[in-house]
Every structure is written in C-alpha cells, then in structure tokens.
Amino acid sequence: MRRWRIFSPLRVAALLMVYGTCAGAGALYAIVGELDADLPRDLRVALDYRPPQATIVFAADGEPIGQFFLEQRYPVDLDRVPRHVQQAFVSAEDRRFWEHQGFDAAGIARAAWANFRGHGITQGASTITQQVMRMLMLGREKTYYRKARELILAWRVERELSKRDILEIYLNHVYLGAGAYGVQAAAKVYFGKDVGALSVAEAAMLAGLPQSPSRYSPVRDFAAAKARQRYVLDRMVADGALTRRAADAAYDEPLGIVTDAAPLNAEVAPYFVEHVRRWAVDRYGDRSVLLGGLRIHTTLDSRKQRAAEAAVREGLEAAAAWIGFRGPIGHVDGAALAAFIEGPPRPAGGDGPAVDARGHLLRHTAYVGAVVDVRDGWRARVDVDVGPVAGRLRRDDARAALRWRSDRGDRLRIGDLVAVKLAAGSDPAAGEVEWALEQPPDVQGALVAIDPATGRIEAMVGGYDYRTSQFNRAVQARRQVGSSIKPFIYAAALAAGYTHLSIVLDAPVAVPTPTGVWRPKNFKREYRGPITLRTALAESVNTVSVRLVQAVGADAVVDVMRRLGIRSRFPIHPSIALGTPDVSLLEMTAAYAALPAGGLRVDPRFVDVVTTAEGVVLEDHRAERPHDRALSPQLAYLVTDLMRGVVRRGTARRARELRRPAAGKTGTSSEFRDAWFIGFTPDAVAGVWVGRDDFTPIAHNATGGRLALPIWLRYMQAAEAGRPIREFSPPEDILFVRASERTGRPAPPGAPDAALVPMLRGTIPEAFLAAVEPAAFRPPPPAP
C-alpha cells in the first residue's frame, strides 16, 4: 500500500512538471544560445554610432546654403535636446524606459495576447531600446525569430550602454517622415527651427510620428496629427511630465507648420550650390558627399549673391519688355469669353491664391486677362478684364501689344488672353485699374562676381530660374565673346610697343583667309580715318582691332588669353579680332580680374575650407592669393586705363552711374546672339552674359551695352554700396602726359579733349617729354 502511494497521481504530476520545466528551460537555453551565437559579441563596437550625415554647404558668413544627403539627418548631443522633447518621446513610445532592463514584460504579454487573438503579429511591444536594435542592427521584418533576437540584444545593450546613450541614439536615428531622420532634422523640416527651440506642443507633435510618419504627418493630415498630439500630451500628463493645464495650453497653441518651404539648395544660390556639389563628388566621391557629413565652407557672399539674383532677374525681365510683346497665351470666343469674364480671377501660374482675405487682387500676382476691346492709332488702347475686374493696359504696353504680329500676320484681337499684373498706382477698390503686361523672359543670362585680390567667387547666377533650367550658363556655356575680347588684343599690342596714343587707321579692311577675303565692318558702318588706341577701344572700333591682330599676330592674342587663365579651346583665325572664340563667362571674368590684381593671374575658387562633421580640416584655401604673373603691373594698368575710357566716354557710359572708378568692356557677337559686359573697380570684378540657349539672335540691336550692362550696374550698385571709393593706383614707371585723345598730340590744359594719358617710361614720344607728369605727383582724378 505504501509502495503504491509513491506513484500517486499527485507525485507523478509534480515530477512531470519539474522535468518539463527543466526540459523547457534547457530547450529555451539552447534556443537562446543558438540565437545569441551569431549576434555581435561587443555591442559597443556594433553600436559605435556613426549614422549617415548630410554634407552641408555654407556661405562665407556661415549661412547654410546647401545640403547633400540620402538621409536628412543632423545628429545632436542629448544635452542639446530639451527635457520636454526627451520626455515627449519617452511618454509616447516607452513610458517605463528608465526602469526596464531592455524590454517590457507586461507590454510583451499584452502584445502576445493581441497577436494570439489576431492569428499573427498584429501588435508590438517594442521599447526604445528594442527600436534602437531594430533600426541599427536587425531591420523591420515581422517574425518571431527577429523579435527574439531583438529581445536578447536589448537586454545585452542595457548592460553595455547607459540609458542616456540609448536615448541619444534613438532621438538621432528615428524616422519622422518627410525624409527627416532624428529630432533635429524633423524640427527643421516641420517647424523651420533648431530642436532646442521646440515648444512642448511641437515636441508632442513630433513624438507622435514614429508609429506612422505618413499617417500622422501634420503636412498631409493635420487633423490626424492633432489627434496624435493629444495622445502624446495625455501620456505626458499621466507620467507626471506635464500638468493638465500645461497640456491643454500646448494643445491649443497655434503651430507654424512649414508646408511649402523651398529646398535649401534652391533658396540662396542654386547654381552655385550645384557647382559645389559637382566639385565635391569629383574630389571626394558620391559616398563621402551623400553620407559622410562633410562641411564645405565656400567663398559665396550671401548679401552679394542676393544682389546678383535680383539683378539678373530684373535685368532679364527688363530685356523681355524691351524685346517686346510675344503674343497672346490663348484665345476664347463667344460663350467661353463671357464665362471667363464672369468667373473668378485666375492666376497666370495656375496655382496659388487669386485674391486676399478681403477678395481683392494681389499686387504682385500675375493673372490671365481677356482682351475685350482694342483701339489702334495714336491713342492706342487695349481693355483687359481679369474675371470681373475691368481695366486697361498701360499706354506703352498697349502700343507694344498692338505692334505685335504673328508669323501668319495675326494681330491682337478681342478674346485673346494675356498675362497681366496690377500696374503701380492701380486701385481696384476705387475702380481705377491699369494693367502691366507680364511675360517671363525668353532670354537667359548669367553673372559671376570675383574678388580680384583673392580669386574668391562672391556671387554666381547661372540662369533666370533654376527650377525650370539647371544648366549653369556661368560655367557650362561656351559662347562667342564678341568685342569683350578686345582688351586682350590691346594688351598684346601694348606689349608689342604700341601706346595709348598710337594712331591706327579706321577704314574698311580686307583680310585674305584660306576660304576667301574677309571684310569686317564697324557696328555702325562708319569710319573715321586715323584714330588713337584710346578712342578705338572706348568706341569698340572693329577695324582697328583687326589691324592690331594683323600687326601683332593672332597667336600673340591667344598667348595673352592663355596667360590670363582662359583654357577653352577654339580655332586661331584672323576673326579672333571680333571675338569669335567660344569661352565661358567664368573664364572671361577671371581673366579680366587680373587687371585690377596688378597683372597676377586670378584662378577663381569657390571653396575656403572643407572639414569632416567632427571638424577635422581636409583642405584649407583661405590664405591663397593670386601669385603667378600673367602681365606686368605696368601693362595691366595701361590696359585698365584704356578700359576706363570705355566707361567714361565709350560704349559703357551708363556704368558711370556707379559713381566710382570703374573699367570694363561691352561685347556683342554676330547677329546679336550674345550680349556681354565685364567690368571692375579696384576691389571687385563682375561679368554678365545675356543670350538664348538655342543660339538664335536675341533681337535687333541687342548689344552688350543695352542688355548686359544694366544687369552689371544693378549688381555693382548693391554689392559695392558702403565700400570706400578707391582709385586705380598706377605702379612704378608709369608717367602721364597731357594729350588730345582724338589726335594723340600734346594738348594744353583746358583743351576740350585733353586728358592725362598714362605712358610707360621709355615709350614717351619726344613731343611730350617737356610735359611729363610723374604719377607720384598726379592728384587722383575725381570718380566718374
């Protein structure tokens, strides 16, 4: 009886439980051991957190102007993340983060029951530690195997890293939508600010995103984002991180969500930033640029860049207005016209608001208007209705519109649609509406500005609108330079023994070539006989340039261009005298920069310093200065003074409005395909090109002085504002004689065309030797 009791059911059950538990524990130990076997041994090495970082491009003043990345991420130390931001994420994602050992057993049980009922993995219980393991080491696959490994790693990492370390990794790595990884990137993307400036309301909005960045995006679905924000705030209250009153105040706080911010690369200097990107990829490779977090500090002057952008935009719009009305953008008749007039105003761009909150037209918005009446003649008038708002074109615009003819001979008529803006002084509320024609330029332009003392590129604009064309015409385009080549020709002539007062014949010239006789002509088809070099360059006389090239040789001119840094390849031909070589604007501007640099070749540069994200300097060009001599200081000064004549009395007279010493040269290629002006002061050089991408003519009389010079002047007036006025200083061995600029002979003081003319010591004609005025004793002439 006693032996039978030894095997009683109760004892058997107990033994089975003990054996089963031991077997289960052994099996679990074996499974855990197998799962753990292929996991990293040293988690500190595995978690050496070096996430992909964006490369950031800075202007010279430290303003960020561009960024290159695969993942938009800006890692920050936890100390820079406000406490309420940390708490918002902890409350939303892992309220027991500070207490658990890597995983939350209660949460796992709750999720397991939900998954059992759902017949699959429908819910997780991932702590912040587990999420870090998933993000950095395991991926997002939903399997029990991956989940088990995640638990093991979370438990181990809690013994390797502090809670603060884990939270810092999480806040820098978590994906928060819109391409933003980490709280710093998300703060910039959604609120346009640094993470340190986030309010409680903004922090709660961001903390609601990790579960579903798309569903809870405040940009895509603000109502859903607000509901999620409320959830986070309630959790913070439950956790004691906020009072109910503070949570309610945060929920009611207006949020300035950034919904239409332009990418940083497109804001300040898009063409320049893309130029930097190409250089960086070529130098460091795609991986370093997109993932390595380089810090590229450039030479760009933000203030001057904004002046350049405005100058090109306004100059090309003015050029489009000068070229004339290009025709209607559409036509409506009958019932369609009536519906158009009775309907609401329509923006010409097709999107954006048409009226303000009071229903009034917007001052700077372009609208589609319908022509409702046309009256030709000396009292030209064109009536245009923008929806129910009636008005008329400005008189000049009406005349331009009425002059228009299509290729088929069509003229402006009732029902034609035109783009218009409210003209200055118009008051729709008072019933007085005058429209200004609005048409985007169909010509392109570019501008480059360089500091001649350092070679630093201070501004670069490669076209009218980067959004519609990324082709950088300042760097990538090679265009005929026209008469802007002439300073190089005159430099070669002066080097060969000519002086400012040398007489050259301005008369028709015939040049034999292998393909026949070339007969170049002056722009105005006028000839004045013997003239001085000073007059010839000031008025851009073609025949004199041709004769100078014949005298010194085209090779000598090309040699000057090469010494000044022009590397573009082009055929050497007598027509070089009129600027047939195709050269980039950057090359031409840098070549001109050698003149105020005293004859030193200026190699343009756009990067000052490149560092790693940690501040390790990879290259530093800040101390670099022009040092290779291209021209003697005396020759550089003589050419500069010749070019000052272009501004004082020649084809660039409008540049006198700068009201400081300036020199430069206009250029116009054959059939008005290209318009140039490159000019400089002692401290700054800027070059401008205007033309069409398809190489067709711009318009009749579209010269460099008419189209490019106004852009240059707009830029220089803004860029040089406030800079002390300096004179071009003559170097040693430059002496001055008083001479007639017309005849080249000595002139008494007060003669109408008398001027102090610089001459190199040893080249002064005997007739002037009694009247030599050393530069050291010459008072600076007044600024033009």
CA atoms of 599 and 760, how far apart (whole Å): 15
Is residue 771 a contact partner of residue 756, using CB atoms and an 8 Å limit?
no
CA atoms of 505 and 555, how far apart (whole Å): 22
567, with CB counted inside 10 A (0-12, 13-18, 19+), is: exposed
Each residue of 378-425: pLDDT tens digit? 788 999 999 989 999 999 899 989 999 887 888 999 999 999 999 888
Identify the CA nearest to 368 among candidates 320, 330, 414: 330
CA atoms of 72 and 296, how far apart (whole Å): 17
pLDDT of 138: 47
Is residue 183 a contact partner of residue 171, using CB atoms and an 8 Å limit?
yes
Strand 444-450 to 457-461 pairing: antiparallel
CATH code 1.10.10.10 for 444-719: no
Identify the CA nearest to 296 among candidates 625, 59, 622, 603: 59
Per DSSP, the residues of 184-208 read HHHHHHHHSS-GGG--HHHHHHHHT
Strand 754-760 to 734-740 pairing: antiparallel
The CA-atom distances, in angstroms, between 31 and each of 40, 104, 158, 187, 263 are 17, 21, 21, 43, 50
CA atoms of 740 and 262, how far apart (whole Å): 58
One-letter amino acid identity for 466?
Answer: Y
Residue of 93, 150, 168, 587 marked active site: 93
Neighbours of 654 (CB within 10 A): 16
CA atoms of 67 and 194, how far apart (whole Å): 16
* C-alpha Rg value of the chain to the nearest Å: 37
CATH of domain 327-437: 2.40.50.140
pLDDT of 47: 55
H helices within 101-140, ranges in order? Answer: 105-117, 128-133
What residue has token string 């105003």?
345
**Residue 778 corresponds to which tokens in the numbers above?**
């010459």
Q: Is 483 a catalytic residue?
A: yes
Q: Vertex 568, ends 564 and 570: CA angle to 5°?
A: 110
Per DSSP, the residues of 6-29 read HT-HHHHHHHHHHHHHHHHHHHHH
Where exactly are the structural domains of the chain?
Answer: 2-37, 71-264, 327-437, 444-719, 734-777
Residue 68: beta bridge partners? 55
CATH of domain 71-264: 1.10.3810.10
Sign of the CA dihedral running 533, 535, 536, 538: positive
pTM: 0.81
Is residue 550 a contact partner of residue 483, using CB atoms and an 8 Å limit?
no
What residue has token string 């999420």?
131
pLDDT of 123: 42
Q: Is 267 a catalytic residue?
A: no
Per DSSP, the residues of 431-457 read TB-EEEE----SSEEEEEEE-TTT-BE
pLDDT of 133: 75
For 125-160, b/e burial (b = at least 16 CB within 10 A) is: bbbbbbbbbbbbbeeeeeeeebbebbbbbbbbbbee
Residues of the chain whose pLDDT is less than 70? 1-50, 101-125, 136-156, 158, 259-263, 350-352, 773-784
Residue of 426, 483, 484, 502 marked active site: 483
